[in-house]
Structure 1
Amino acid sequence: MTAQYGAEVASVYDSLIAPAMPLDEEIARLRPHLEGNRVLEVGVGTGRVATAAAPIAESLVGVDNSAPMLDAFRAKGVPANVELLEADFLRPLPFGAEFATAYSTMGSLACVRTRDELVTALSNIRAVLRPGGVLLFEYYSTAAYRPLVEAGTITVPTPHHGGTSTFTTTLDAASVLTMHTRVDAEPAPPVAFSEHILFIERDEVEACLEKAGFGAAQFYPAEGMQPYDWYHVRSEEW
């Protein structure tokens, strides 16, 4: 799968996107499943979560299919117990069943175009989890994003970055949501990029999890203005 988050996103991720998300809440949810464990992060990006998770985990492997995002992480310095790998979750991951915990934040697992692709991604993660291993992930909240689809285009200030961000959001008949983002922050030149995600309801996400061999999901809906729901599932015994 072609990386959605290339050099354009990498150039603004740490100044625009990361500051808008509450890292403390994510780490608090992950902590019990990180402590003393070998952990996999799917969609590690520039290391926003991995850098905070690494001191808690025994070791952490971060995979991402975007070389520019991984390069941005390396430029900041990678913790000693973290290994980075450029890999696509739609292909088998090059590990055995060695992880006690896998996690994915910022809706990374939604970066597929079909339900079958989501099942494939989840199956590839399950294959590298120990029996009974845990997967925690954020998925785009339909409650949060449907108003954006209805609005079409909106422009909002970005006080932590300066300037404005303009979002144009569409949803097609195949449940693929496309968001075009343009960041304007003078004197820097505009930055534009697009995201495509599978925009499905909770029952469909849970059906995909079941097909991939995970047990019943614990579900935590997005709160307030947060854009993601949380899922917590356990790999069924082999």
Structure 2
Amino acid sequence: MDYDRLMATTYDPIYADVRTPSGDRDFYVAQAVAAGGPVLELGCGTGRILLGVAAHGIEITGVDPSEAMLDVLRSKSPPANVTLVRGRMEELDLADHGFALAMVPFRAFMHLLTVEAQLAALARIREHLRPGGKLVFDVFDPNPTRMGLAEEPEAHDHWFELDGKRVERRYEIRRDRATQVMQVTFRYYDAEGAALGEELIGMRWTWRYELEHLLVRAGFTPLSWSSGYDGRPYDGSGDIVVVARR
């Protein structure tokens, strides 16, 4: 099976359960409702958040580099106020440069593996926002002890149902502290332990004040820093949730 399609077909069964308790979907939908649209979502995936925004009648454009992810989203018959585009956020070039809100949920910003890619993405996002438009995104708050580990051996991650069968996902992590990049290998096994496939995902961790420097260099004004989706002030734990203004 194609690894990209493997991730796309397992995404909803895994992350619908994993992310719901965090409240991130409700948070991003509320941000979109407050902005009023049009809204731009980078890394829209299978539409977990995008469809929640669209249900409020808000015009939303979803961008994702994975055609397989977009295919899953299209299979859900999104409404007419949804536009889907395959592309990378650091190469963003849409006709509409008047978005009221750009959002990059569920750590999608972390898939930008260099400072150059991060700055390019921020510059392209800023270019697509109207004056005063907002950018909202999240990354995980790096745990210094865990980030200090060069590798983590394969371990259990999640059991889920796929096509009526029980599937286990396991993960293995390798880190390069010089570049702040972690390579996460996900491996999938059936209930008997037979391998079904694997996928490799790169993620770059970024510290809170490093993020602030990136935003300011790209021309954004940071407005708030939170450690969760309930608006509590940043305290160095959980996720880093950022709101910034063009």
Verify same fold: TM over 0.5. yes
Partner of 1:180: 185
Unmatched segments (≥5 aa) in structure 1: none
CA RMSD of aligned residues (A): 2.6
Partner of 1:100: 100
1:232 aligns with one of 229, 232, 243: 243
* C-alpha displacement of 1:154: 4.3
Partner of 1:113: 113
Kindly provide the amino acid, as one letter, of the partner of residue 43 in structure 1: G
* Structure 1 Cα separation of the partners of residues 15 and 191 of structure 2: 17
Unmatched segments (≥5 aa) in structure 2: 230-236
* Structure 2 Cα separation of the partners of residues 148 and 44 of structure 1: 31
Identity %: 25
Partner of 1:197: 203
Partner of 1:171: 175
SS of equivalent to 1:158: strand
Partner of 2:69: 69
Normalised to the residue count of structure 1, the TM-score between the two structures is 0.86
Q: How many equivalent residue pairs?
A: 229
Runs of 4+ in structure 1 over 4 Å off: 147-151
Write out aligned runs for 1:74-85 (5 A): 74-85=74-85
Counterparts in 2 of 1:93 and 1:40: CA distance versus 1, 3 Å: same
* C-alpha displacement of 1:175: 1.2
* 8 A contact 1:39–1:59 mirrored in 2: yes
Partner of 2:13: 15
Partner of 1:60: 60
Counterparts in 2 of 1:49 and 1:97: CA distance versus 1, 3 Å: same
Higher strand share: 2
SS of equivalent to 2:225: strand
Deviations 1:10-63 (A, max 9, x none): 121111233211277223322443123210000011111111111225200000
* Structure 2 Cα separation of the partners of residues 11 and 227 of structure 1: 27
